[in-house]
Structure 1
Amino acid sequence: MEPKLLTLWQHTRTGKVKISELADLLSLSTKQTTRYLHKWHEEGWLHYKGGTGRGRYSEITWLKDVEAVYEKRVHEVMKDGKIEECARHLLLDWSRDCKLRLVSDFQSRLGYEKDGEDRLIIPRKRPFITTHPLKARDVHSANLVANVYDRLVSVDEHSSVHPALAHSWELNDARLRLYLRKGVKFHDGSPMSAEDVCDCLRKMSQHPFYERMWAPVSAIKARSPYVIDLEFRYPCHYALHLLGIMAASIYKEAGGSLYGTGSFSIVRNDDTKTLLHAFQEYYKERAFLDEIEYVQVPRDFENLYRSSAQSENYETYKVDSDFGFGLIIMNSYRNSDIARDDVRDFLHFQVTKLRQLLREIDARLIPNEQGFLAGISQPYELGEINCPVLRKPLVIQMSEYSRQTAERFREILVRAGCPVELVQVPFADTLDNGINDYGCDIFFHGEVFEMDQKFSFFQFLFGGTSPLQSVLDDCVDMEAWLKRYAMTAVSEWMPLHIEMERFLIETSRAVPLYYSKRSFLFTDDLMDVETRYFGHADFSKLWMKPSF
């Protein structure tokens, strides 16, 4: 099946055409387009009559219903069980009704195999951006990392720290000493040592996104094969929590590959599929599932987590999860009008109008008129502010995920007399906003809390994964603030959070926009579903209930 032929069918009717316009439609040169038309003419899909002379129209007459023929072929491929091939075909340019039929058929067959293995099938809307713990800054990559790599400790939603790769520890004002489990193996079969752990932690401490949070640590040392020390410049009460975040995952690099110690290992990761196998030598109890299979599907595909034992007829249940919050960050350190208080306050007031439209954009977004701390922040109000005089249009960054929201905000601002420009940045590049602002004044940022709210908000403030760090560096003594946090018990952090939140909102540097929830469907034979990592499922305890 040829994607370009289907695209031509969808957007061009029988009649006169301009080759230049068809070339733009198919992303080809005019010569390439002409060659394709002659080819399809010879294959009997259409009749093509070329125009003569400059500016002349050519003519095509359709002889076959391309979509109907292709749809029949895809259904036949599905019947043959070639699911990966089908997944690629679903990404073609189908009409809405045809796509619904194909998706329905695909979903009913996805992963169904009676091979005796317990396999979880997960729809994947796009390939994973990365599998490296230090680079996993989007929620999908981070969820994969969470199940493939382990941390030294784990932190629950109540901010309590629990043993993981480290079975015990001693923390005082001078250092943190960690005692590692013996017998832990990487997925390549090699044993984990204190040097492996130190190597990972040193790389994290030097990474531009995490180095600030490591500022209290002066040295990372292996004291013995199973003991490491983190020595402090000054007391650091959050050191254990820092070792529980995703970027602190322990891994080994060998032969150009990464190996973790988690309950699942990656055996395949490409444009059509990602496959995980249960790690037989996992230091805890082996995962109950045998495989986890991520299959590439269209973006409008349902978020259905499905077992390989379910055929067409299945029941599902829904699991809801808090998914973080969205905000607008004003790039006040940039040398533009956005550095002015009156401009940011004007924009802040306009955001109150945008909140009223969020449900129309995405029903999962809950307008946030309070702050960034769920259950803690208080509502606030702003008086109307007129648009100040600007030297040049303000620049709003948008990605494929924030396009609709950004376009609505532009409409609001233009009606209020504020000139703006939109700059499209690939989603993967927006993950580097902490080190590159792409010449933008306004950012739409989604923050998904990885752990409990106390530490995650700290990570939001001091991690470098959003433009906020550069904004704060320009107006706040962040080193002094870090020291305040480090010398305060994590359980006592909320007053510090509230003080920082109040500053961000009152100076219109960060403006709350929405809270977000996500829902995931699971087939009813999947048991012990627990959402932990970025609102997604923890696969280590999930199991399939057999049917008889």
Structure 2
Amino acid sequence: MEKHLLALYQYKNQRIPQSQLAAHIGLSQKQLSRNLARWQSEGILDYVSGKGRSRYTVITWHVDIEASYYRQIKLLLNKGYLEDALPYLSWSWSTLTHQKLLTKSNKLLGFTKTPQNEDKLTITKRHSLLSTRPFEVLEAKNASVLMSVFDTLFKVKEDQTVEYHLAHHYECHEQAIDIYLRPHVKFHDGSYLSSVDVKRSLEHARSHQHTADLLEQITRIELIDELALRIHLNKCPQIVALLSHLSLAIYKETEGRHIGTGPYFIKRDNQYTTILKRFNDYYGHAAFIDEIELVYIPEVRKPVIGDSDEPMTTLTKNIGFYYMCQHPDSTLTSDQKQYIKSILKNEYHLTVDRQAPKILGNSNYLKQKEILRPAFDEPIRIDCIEINDAGRQAFDTIFSRHQIAYELINHTFDDSIGGTIQLCGDYYFFGEYLDIPETLAYHHFIFGSSSSIHRLMSQYSWFYLVKSFYQMIPYNSWDRLNRLIDRKLDQHAILYPLYIVEDSITFARSLHGVSLNQYGFINFNQIWRKKSD
């Protein structure tokens, strides 16, 4: 089967110049000409080339390519070979055929048995993993899976209470913290966790571009014994909460792989599927399900967990927000900025049918005064990350209503993650989630070097002064400071939310322990299923 041949077949009833046809199916004109000649020699089609200006390539088909390919993929699915069929689901099919394939694929989801007679749960997910290394966790899609593979020293809950994970206990000194590790913790390769592993993980994080600023207050890490270490600090009132951050999870590198100590290990990972296998030597509560397979299908918006033929339940949770961040070099006047903030905050969430916006759980913004529309001589320019049609339409509806010219500058998600994006608009429009604890997550969102808004925020004159002020006050006072900064940024139209992001999962009622975590997905090790009678 050939991907480009199926893509070409979708234009079988259309008259298109060959240059456009080549672009549509992802080939150069030279490559298309070569392939057309080959396919003609194989008896699949006949064609008359249309290379000149306004000339059309005329193709006569002798084989129904889509029907032939559909039968082959259907055969794979009938035999239960979902993983083999997955690469073909993203090819260019007609809408009807694609839906038939997705429906047939869904029949293979839910609970099955592995060849070893173990329980296996197969779940659809929209995005594959960008990385399997914890220090490269920059977004929720990765975090939602890797939190079952890697462990942190601590976990700080929403109410600021501390749970001990790899750490058994700790002692704080004036400029240091002593951490005592839980004994007999095993990595996924069977070796035991030691203070050397913790030091190695944290030292690497101190030098890595995504995590260096998190640990900038650490001056030295000293080994006390095999299960204890001392971290020397300047000022770091948030150190315990910081060490609960997933990107600072403890890992070990072996044979080019990064392995953890979590309830599951990664058995296989590629662009089509990730398989998690239960780690039977996990130090905590063992997971109930032996194997979890995540199947990546881009068109699937909402995952269905369990057998779709069973009675289902849906859970919904607020997991983040979309925001506008003002570029410090914007030439818009203060009145223009305030007017744009007013209309977008009041109207955007209604236009996209979402909840009224806020960033913090206890955000308390000043009431906006009514503002007269100022003159706008130049279009408003907004940098966006892979904005969808609904987002475009919302901006168009609002700005058209207020007779404001605008331009959306779209960037790829990969450029955003990779740091190669060049922001040149008046505003940056993107989404964010705040991890738990929210206190630390908000600080990292505003001041962290890996934050999506760092390249803008760090250009404001007040940035480094306010950042340093956090280190001068106790961590339990950070909430109050967060609320003040959140209100001030909103008041000056520098950063403000447009709508709340909800996520939901649908799951079979026979599953128990299902809940949405802060990343909008589930904790695999908490799921269990009643055995049928």
* Alignment TM-score > 0.5, same fold: yes
Task: Give per-residue Cα distances to partners, 1:7-38, cap 9 Å, x unaligned.
Answer: 22323316x55322322222223333233334
Shift in alpha-carbon separation, 1:429–1:30, aligned structure 2, 3 A: closer
Q: Where in structure 1 are there 5+ consecutive unaligned residues? A: none
Partner of 2:282: 282
Letter in 2 for 1:305: I
Corresponding residue SS for 1:171: strand
Corresponding residue SS for 2:253: strand
Which of 396, 405, 413 in structure 1 is aligned with 2:391?
Answer: 405
Shift in alpha-carbon separation, 1:51–1:90, aligned structure 2, 3 A: closer
Provide the identity percentage: 27
Partner of 1:536: 521
Partner of 2:151: 150
Partner of 1:506: 491
Which of 346, 355, 358 in structure 2 is aligned with 1:366?
Answer: 355
How far residue 228 of structure 1 moved from its aligned partner, in angstroms, is: 1.6
Tell me, in whole angstroms, the C-alpha distance in 2 between the residues paired with 1:388 and 1:152. Answer: 55
How far residue 276 of structure 1 moved from its aligned partner, in angstroms, is: 1.3
Corresponding residue SS for 1:535: coil
Tell me, in whole angstroms, the C-alpha distance in 1 between the residues paired with 2:356 and 2:315. Answer: 21
Shift in alpha-carbon separation, 1:52–1:449, aligned structure 2, 3 A: closer
Letter in 2 for 1:337: T
Shift in alpha-carbon separation, 1:356–1:316, aligned structure 2, 3 A: closer
Contact 1:146 1:533 in 2 (8 A): no
Per mean C-alpha deviation after superposition, the further-off stretch among 179-188 and 477-486 is 477-486
Tell me, in whole angstroms, the C-alpha distance in 2 between the residues paired with 1:287 and 1:318. Answer: 22
Per mean C-alpha deviation after superposition, the further-off stretch among 403-412 and 517-526 is 403-412
Corresponding residue SS for 1:380: coil
Tell me, in whole angstroms, the C-alpha distance in 1 between the residues paired with 2:71 and 2:414. Answer: 36
RMSD over aligned CA atoms reads: 2.9
How far residue 489 of structure 1 moved from its aligned partner, in angstroms, is: 4.0
Whether 1:26 aligns to 2:22 is no
Partner of 1:297: 297
Q: Where in structure 2 are there 5+ consecutive unaligned residues? A: none
Partner of 1:380: 367
Whether 1:247 aligns to 2:247 is yes
Contact 2:411 2:421 in 1 (8 A): no
Letter in 1 for 2:408: L
Which of 426, 430, 433 in structure 1 is aligned with 2:416?
Answer: 430
Task: Give per-residue Cα distances to partners, 1:337-374, cap 9 Å, x unaligned.
Answer: 25x53443243234236515542xxx5x3231xx3222
Tell me, in whole angstroms, the C-alpha distance in 2 between the residues paired with 1:53 and 1:425. Answer: 34
Tell me, in whole angstroms, the C-alpha distance in 2 between the residues paired with 1:43 and 1:110. Answer: 38
Contact 2:323 2:430 in 1 (8 A): yes
Q: How many residues align structurally?
A: 531
How far residue 298 of structure 1 moved from its aligned partner, in angstroms, is: 3.2
Partner of 1:457: 442
Whether 1:268 aligns to 2:253 is no
How far residue 52 of structure 1 moved from its aligned partner, in angstroms, is: 9.1
How far residue 265 of structure 1 moved from its aligned partner, in angstroms, is: 1.1
Whether 1:337 aligns to 2:335 is no
- Structure 2 length as normaliser, TM-score? 0.90
Contact 1:266 1:276 in 2 (8 A): yes
How far residue 139 of structure 1 moved from its aligned partner, in angstroms, is: 0.8
Task: Give per-residue Cα distances to partners, 1:234-255, cap 9 Å, x unaligned.
Answer: 3x33211011011110112233
Shift in alpha-carbon separation, 1:138–1:484, aligned structure 2, 3 A: same
Q: How does 1:34-113 map to 2 (within 5 A)?
A: 34-50=33-49, 56-110=55-109, 113=112
Task: Give per-residue Cα distances to partners, 1:268-312, cap 9 Å, x unaligned.
Answer: 111221111111222223222211211121323541123xxx4x7
Tell me, in whole angstroms, the C-alpha distance in 2 between the residues paired with 1:521 and 1:301. Answer: 11
Corresponding residue SS for 2:345: helix
Tell me, in whole angstroms, the C-alpha distance in 2 between the residues paired with 1:355 and 1:477. Answer: 29
How far residue 78 of structure 1 moved from its aligned partner, in angstroms, is: 1.0
Contact 1:353 1:412 in 2 (8 A): no
Partner of 2:501: 516
Corresponding residue SS for 2:163: strand
Contact 2:121 2:291 in 1 (8 A): yes
How far residue 413 of structure 1 moved from its aligned partner, in angstroms, is: 4.2
Contact 2:111 2:121 in 1 (8 A): no
Contact 1:321 1:518 in 2 (8 A): yes
Shift in alpha-carbon separation, 1:205–1:58, aligned structure 2, 3 A: closer
Shift in alpha-carbon separation, 1:68–1:358, aligned structure 2, 3 A: farther
Shift in alpha-carbon separation, 1:377–1:121, aligned structure 2, 3 A: farther
- Structure 1 length as normaliser, TM-score? 0.87
Contact 2:127 2:141 in 1 (8 A): no
Tell me, in whole angstroms, the C-alpha distance in 2 between the residues paired with 1:285 and 1:300. Answer: 32
Per mean C-alpha deviation after superposition, the further-off stretch among 145-154 and 110-119 is 110-119
Which of 311, 314, 333 in structure 1 is aligned with 2:310?
Answer: 314
Tell me, in whole angstroms, the C-alpha distance in 1 between the residues paired with 2:342 and 2:519. Answer: 30
How far residue 330 of structure 1 moved from its aligned partner, in angstroms, is: 1.0
Shift in alpha-carbon separation, 1:463–1:426, aligned structure 2, 3 A: same
How far residue 206 of structure 1 moved from its aligned partner, in angstroms, is: 3.7
Tell me, in whole angstroms, the C-alpha distance in 1 between the residues paired with 2:213 and 2:384. Answer: 27
Partner of 1:138: 139
Shift in alpha-carbon separation, 1:17–1:351, aligned structure 2, 3 A: closer
Letter in 2 for 1:503: K
Per mean C-alpha deviation after superposition, the further-off stretch among 45-54 and 270-279 is 45-54
Whether 1:182 aligns to 2:183 is yes
How far residue 232 of structure 1 moved from its aligned partner, in angstroms, is: 2.8
Task: Give per-residue Cα distances to partners, 1:198-222, cap 9 Å, x unaligned.
Answer: 2222332344444444344333222
Shift in alpha-carbon separation, 1:436–1:172, aligned structure 2, 3 A: farther
Partner of 2:382: 396
Corresponding residue SS for 2:136: coil
How far residue 104 of structure 1 moved from its aligned partner, in angstroms, is: 1.3
Contact 1:103 1:301 in 2 (8 A): no
Contact 1:200 1:248 in 2 (8 A): yes
Tell me, in whole angstroms, the C-alpha distance in 2 between the residues paired with 1:274 and 1:374. Answer: 33
Task: Give per-residue Cα distances to partners, 1:118-144, cap 9 Å, x unaligned.
Answer: 222121323211111121111111112
